[in-house]
A and B are shown apart, each in its own frame.
Chain A
Amino acid sequence: MAIRHVGQAQELRVRSADGTRLHVEVRGPSDGPTVVLSHCWSTSLASWGPVVRDLDPDLRVVLYDQRGHGRSQTPLTRAGYGPEKLADDLCAVLEATVPSGRKAVVAGHSMGGMTIMASGPRATFKEKVGAVLLTNTGCTELADRATAIPLPGALGRLGSRAFLTTPLPLGPANAGSANVLRFLVMGKRSSPAAKRLCARLVHGCASVPRSEWGRVITQLHLDDSVREIAVPTFVVGGEEDKLTPPWHARHIGGLVQNPVEVRIIPGLGHMGPLEAPGTLADLLGKLVASHIS
């Protein structure tokens, strides 16, 4: 097991286009091929931790906190939230961390995937990205297709919307909320450790930015922008994913110009990087080997 990536992070502060300060961590050898990881809604860069631990130590890993999450600044106004801002942030991170003339593999989980899909048309993205891995993500109809709230029809859709947009303060993580979260976002056979980590991450996210981002997610329509992604794209879906059911993975696979594969993993819920870190690390390694080395 390669765990050398842990504990040797170089921390950067990167300014996004609108001045928002982002917390970025770079791990691994400075001359290695670069992998940029973008995390999901309501967690932080730590949600990629299990995957990073499994990655080839020769890779240079770039992690960053999305705005409003972790140690990045929280937008001051509603205008600071939106898919364009996600794309601004990713492009700022790519500019700051990917050496000129080199390309990186970018991977995004859930909202991190939406970030990558929103960045499709950007010049920086086209210049710096060699391959894409999307896991448990969607680009449209997110509240409508979610099945997390077990209510029929319109009630279920309203429930998903409320789940995404309600700024409910969560307080400290506890066993009860861990079980609720497991039910909502993870596969049935998730390990207790993954379950606890998930609860800790979600409770660590402030509820006001969480609800603002939730609102953005419910209104997301990125189909046109996904069609602009021309680099090889690997799409992963979870069979038991109730927030972004496998429909999304197949939908994205049909939009990108160069789909490598759409893989639906049995037993996987929404938290790919926590539930199947080995698989994702493996896929990342293969994308690096075949597209940017």
Chain B
Amino acid sequence: MTETVPHHRVAIIGSGFAGIGMAVRLTQAGLRDFVILERADGMGGTWRDNSYPGAACDVPSHLYSFSFALNPDWSRTFSPQPEIWEYMKRVAGEHGVDRHVRYDSDVRTARWEPEANRWRIETSSGTVTAQFLVSGAGPLADPTYPDIKGLDSFEGRLFHSAEWDHDHDLTGRKVAVIGTGASAIQFVPRIQPLVGKLSLFQRTAPWVMFRHDRDITKAESWLYRNVPGAQQVARKSIYWGRETYILGFAKNPRLLGVVERLGRANINRSVRDPELRRKLTPTFRAGCKRILMSNDYYPALARPNVDVVTDGITEVRANSVVTRDSSGRETEHEVDTIILGTGFQVTDPPIAHRVYDSSGRSLAEHWGSDVQAFRGTTVNGFPNAFVLAGPNTGLGHTSQVFMIEAQIRYTMQALKFACKNRVDRLEPRPEAQRAYNEMVHRSMRGTVWVTGGCDSWYLNEQGRNTTLWPTFTWNFALRTRWFDPHNYNLRRAPGGRRPSRVPEGAAT
């Protein structure tokens, strides 16, 4: 049986900030022949999935949004998830992006076919082929389940914060929350007043800052709707304010002592009990793990129905969680609901196990534990593929959307270069990729993420930070501002004229 496989110029995986942003830019450039492969039945990615109570961004909304779609109507400085999700859907809707989305299409494999010069992508809803592959799968896509003995023998309700069970009424329940990361500190204060008993299992205490979250005033909103450029001024001010954090994170971690003082003050303000204060005070340099922001996290933990457990979990039984303290004494905590706030598979992204080069090696095998790309976006051995929110493009201090947009701009430049010069295949040269990553890891030396004395989700098994961009984000934006053909192996389209700006010997 022969089936016709739909072919597109560009296939985009995922419809979160990266996928929608890429699609909008393609549309604006006049390219309509693209498809978005979305595993769920709606757009939004991470901001669709993470609907737990209290979900919000921890970068001010004016900055945590697309540069080309400023929203004068944000309700708060740190907008809640429903608003961000709606914002994304509206941006997509206004540009007609939704027409290009193929829903319920979970990418199972994507293979490079050199003879046909295309990617063959098998999805749960059939096969498509595309000349260019853009992965917008993102690092916060797939939840991590902790490897705890007996977790599957638990007889109560168990779910991950990214797959929140809204039908499960928590009123009066005995709830265990495992993890104290960015998600947990947002939902814990929301569920604490409901539950009967909350046991919070903490491995490492995070630094939690006071959050200047407030309603956007009518006056501000009026200004943004009436004075062109006013919102850009607000956005840029936040951007440059946030960039100064890098001085502490990357340039001189000793400056973070100020942050630590603020963190301690935040604890002391809400927590009276010296024992609890001790448990909640982190023992590592602020910034080594993501700095969290909440005004109601510590007050919630100080309530009598909350128990902060710092002993390690040894196993989960049918109706309880068992911990063992340093003297070897076991304690059984009776619970009927377990909520995992254990984060995402960041350093080993599942999408890398599904993308294969021409010889059948997956991107994950190719990388091993040393995840790397050229300019965070392209990977040697994987031609015509672009990874948005790829290796070393993550951030701990400012808006991820800024980085994603920089990568999108770079990808667009590459595509435009290919079209103008009749190049039909581009792949970063191995030496360029090597040099780039050496540069990244040189910049990483001395930053708080590798010297701060903590084990975070930013680090791979060897303790190398393959996740974060190590310096100012404008530095990344400048590096991805223009496409750099001399760092690429290029192939002219058969029958095409010689590319005008391709250096001698570059075509393979």
Question: Could you tell me which A residues sit within 8 Å of B by CB distance?
Answer: 17-20, 73-77, 79-80, 85, 167, 169-170, 206-209, 211
Contacts and interface: CB of A to CB of B under 8 A. Distances in A.
Contacts of B226: 167, 169-170, 206-208
Contact of A20 (B68, B93, B98): B93
A122 B276 CA distance: 65
A80 B225 contact: no
A208 B69 CA distance: 13
Interface in B225-273: 225-228
Interface stretch (B84-92, B111-119, B278-286, B388-396): B84-92
Contacts, number: 62
Given A18-B94, A19-B89, A76 B225 contact: no
Contacts of A79: 24, 94-96
A80 B91 CA distance: 8
Nearest to B221: A206
Q: Count chain B CB atoms within 10 A of each CB in A19, A76, A80, A167 and give the residue with the most.
A: A76
B159 interface: no
A252 B128 CA distance: 48
B396 to A, nearest CB: 27
Interface residues of B, number: 24
Contacts of A77: 24, 68-69, 91, 94-95
A76 B224 CA distance: 12
B322 interface: no
B222 A76 contact: no
A19 B224 CA distance: 21
B205 interface: no
Contacts of B193: none
Contact of B71 (A18, A19, A76, A170): A76
B70 interface: yes
Nearest to B68: A77
Contacts of A167: 226-228
Contact of B93 (A19, A74, A208, A211): A19
Contacts of A208: 72, 224-226, 228
Contact of B91 (A73, A76, A207): A76
A74 B72 contact: yes
Nearest to B72: A74
Contact of B70 (A18, A76, A211): A76
Contacts of B71: 76
Interface string B485-502: 000000000000000000
B73 interface: yes
Given A79-B96, A206-B222, A207-B225, 17 more contacts: A18-B94, A19-B94, A76-B69, A76-B94, A77-B24, A80-B90, A85-B94, A167-B226, A167-B227, A167-B228, A169-B227, A170-B226, A207-B226, A208-B225, A208-B226, A208-B228, A209-B225
Nearest to B222: A206
B22 to A, nearest CB: 15
Q: Count chain A CB atoms within 10 A of each CB in B70, B71, B228 and give the residue with the most.
A: B228
A202 to B, nearest CB: 13
B26 to A, nearest CB: 13
B73 A74 contact: yes
A291 B98 CA distance: 38
A109 B229 CA distance: 31
B225 A74 contact: yes
Contacts of B92: 19
Nearest to A16: B93
Nearest to B43: A19
